[in-house]
């Protein structure tokens, strides 16, 4: 049964919150959820659709205690809370925030780029679902994130998820100017071979992104062999 807790009762550094979506049906599969946006991200992807969240030194938009107070009022009305960003794993307050949310009776979700595999492994026991961004084949990562070594970190995060048993989805934001369709298809096959069951290909929303021009054969090839596959248009 859901219960009340004292705000900040677990005593860690508070989460730095840059925004709150109070209800969504699309950010945690099958659940009505609130989304907590966390400030700061170490990567600089050119198509980032939350650039205002990149600066880790920017002041928080609201206190974590305000978020908890809101969630206490939504017990029995919402199913889950998703931590997004930015990059939530950047913040030392995330583990305690997850525990506080679970103590209120909510399922917990995380949107992450997987760039801190050790931190991801540490919070997986407190998570019910993860959306992991797999941005590209490993060799293309640094060009997309402007961060050397980022591909190795992301794929190490994927291995943590595969070993954990926590439900998750991989998703890849793509347009033809990032890397060729053949590489996108090969990426999907590689993820399948590693044991990934859910994959979403998301249309890039940046103004300079090349348009999607799918053929029926390309869509069929991408979807082949998945337990769950989704094309998400902008």
pLDDT digits (tens, 9 = 90+) for 67-86: 999 999 999 999 999 999 99
Q: How far apart are CA 215 and CA 234, in angstroms?
A: 18
pLDDT digits (tens, 9 = 90+) for 120-143: 999 999 999 999 999 999 999 999
Residue 139's pLDDT is what?
Answer: 94
Q: Is the pLDDT of residue 52 over 90?
A: no
Tokens of 3: 């219960």
Asked if the bond preceding 141 is cis, omega within 30° of 0, the reply is no
Tokens of 190: 């590689």
pLDDT digits (tens, 9 = 90+) for 110-126: 999 999 999 999 999 99
Give 13's pLDDT tier (boundaries 50, 70, 90): confident
3-state SS class at 101? helix
Asked if the bond preceding 182 is cis, omega within 30° of 0, the reply is no
Q: Is the pLDDT of residue 11 over 60?
A: no
Q: Is the pLDDT of residue 222 over 50?
A: yes
pLDDT digits (tens, 9 = 90+) for 141-179: 999 999 999 999 999 999 999 999 999 999 999 999 899
Residue 212's pLDDT is what?
Answer: 85
Give 192's pLDDT tier (boundaries 50, 70, 90): very high
Give 5's pLDDT tier (boundaries 50, 70, 90): very low
Q: How far apart are CA 210 and CA 55, in angstroms?
A: 27
The average confidence (pLDDT) of the chain is 92
Q: Is the pLDDT of residue 4 over 70?
A: no
* Helix (H) or strand (E) run with residue 67 in it: helix 64-73
Residue 234's pLDDT is what?
Answer: 67
φ, ψ of residue 60 to 5 degrees: the values are -65, 145
Tokens of 115: 């760039």
pLDDT digits (tens, 9 = 90+) for 200-219: 999 988 877 778 888 899 99
Of 231 and 205, which is predicted with more confidence?
231
């Amino acid at each position: 049964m859901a219960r009340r807790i004292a705000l900040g009762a677990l005593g860690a550094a508070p989460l730095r919150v840059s925004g709150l979506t109070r209800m969504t049906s699309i950010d945690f599969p099958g659940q009505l959820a609130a989304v907590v946006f966390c400030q700061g991200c170490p990567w600089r992807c050119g198509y980032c659709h939350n650039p205002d969240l990149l600066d880790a030194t920017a002041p928080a938009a609201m206190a974590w205690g305000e978020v908890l107070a809101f969630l206490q009022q939504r017990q029995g009305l919402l199913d889950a809370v998703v931590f997004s960003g930015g990059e939530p794993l950047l913040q030392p307050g995330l583990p305690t925030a997850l525990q506080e949310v679970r103590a209120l009776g909510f399922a917990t979700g995380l949107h992450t780029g997987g760039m801190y595999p050790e931190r991801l492994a540490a919070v997986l026991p407190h998570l019910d679902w993860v959306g992991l961004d797999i941005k590209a084949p490993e060799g293309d990562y640094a060009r997309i994130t402007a961060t050397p070594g980022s591909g190795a970190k992301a794929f190490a995060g994927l291995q943590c998820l595969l070993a954990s048993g926590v439900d998750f989805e991989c998703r890849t934001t793509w347009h033809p100017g990032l890397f060729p369709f053949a590489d996108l298809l090969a990426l999907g096959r590689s993820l399948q071979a590693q044991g990934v069951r859910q994959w979403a290909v998301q249309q890039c929303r940046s103004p300079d992104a090349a348009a999607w021009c799918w053929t029926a054969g390309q869509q069929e090839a991408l979807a082949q062999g998945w337990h769950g596959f989704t094309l998400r248009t902008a």
